[in-house]
């Protein structure tokens, strides 16, 4: 990755993933975070790369190294509605939401789906743009500030575990789903 973007591997390490875990990459796009997570959870784990764009998922599959092909499963789904990811209730140890929140129209649907698929005390890694940067990143009116993102997830019963700078143009927050 170039210096202007966040480094998926470094950011994923902040999530505390381990061998055998199940992870959902919501809005997987090109799959950088899916591949970084797959390298950690290994062949006894699973990464569900979920996106609403079928062509993006096909591209992700084609550009995934053979070593990770059995770990990463692409899922055509809608992360903005309950049941839209087609995953079982409480089936994931972690969810990654990278460079996606600014595009979400139905945030209430998104948070409901994340809550549904995460196990109790499961983790959410949120990474998003901290600004617009003259055309690099979202339009200024679409940027979701770190404070706004934190308030949203905390008001929806997630506990903030930590935040960190996820590269020169991104912030990151790790949240924990409540136990009950």
Q: 46-105 pLDDT, tens per residue? A: 999 999 999 999 999 888 888 788 999 999 999 999 999 999 999 999 999 999 999 999
Q: Which residues contact 165 (CB under 8 A, 6 or more apart)?
A: 171, 172
DSSP letter at 87? P
DSSP state of 28: -
Q: Name the token pair of 19.
A: 């061998």
User: Which residues are CB-neighbours of 97 under 8 A, at least 6 positions away?
Assistant: 26, 27, 110, 114, 124, 125, 126, 127, 128
Rg (CA), the chain: 15
What is the per-residue pLDDT for 4? 47
Whole-model pTM: value is 0.94
What is the secondary structure of 64-108 as a DSSP string? Answer: S-HHHHTTEEEEE--TTSTTTT-PPTT-EEEEEEES-GGG-S-HH
Query: Average pLDDT of the chain?
Result: 93
In whole angstroms, give the CA distance from residue 32 to residue 25: 10
Other CB atoms within 10 A of residue 82 CB: 15
- Could you give all domains of the chain from N- to C-terminal order, each with its CATH number? 8-176 (3.40.50.150)
């Amino acid at each position: 990755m170039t210096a202007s973007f966040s480094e998926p591997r470094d950011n994923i390490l902040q999530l505390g993933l381990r061998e055998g875990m199940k992870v959902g990459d919501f809005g997987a796009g090109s799959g950088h975070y899916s591949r970084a997570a797959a390298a950690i959870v290994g062949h006894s784990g699973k990464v569900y790369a979920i996106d609403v764009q079928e062509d993006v998922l096909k591209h992700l599959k084609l550009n995934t190294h053979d070593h990770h092909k059995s770990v990463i499963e692409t899922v055509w789904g809608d992360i903005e509605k309950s049941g839209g990811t087609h995953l079982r209730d409480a089936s994931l140890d972690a969810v990654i939401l990278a460079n996606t929140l600014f595009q979400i129209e139905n945030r209430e649907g998104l948070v409901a789906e994340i809550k549904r698929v995460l196990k109790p005390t499961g983790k959410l890694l949120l990474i998003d743009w901290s600004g617009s940067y003259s055309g690099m990143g979202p339009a200024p009116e679409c940027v979701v500030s770190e404070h706004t993102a934190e308030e949203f997830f905390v008001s929806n019963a997630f506990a903030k575990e930590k935040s960190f700078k996820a590269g020169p143009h991104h912030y990151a927050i790790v949240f924990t789903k409540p136990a009950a």
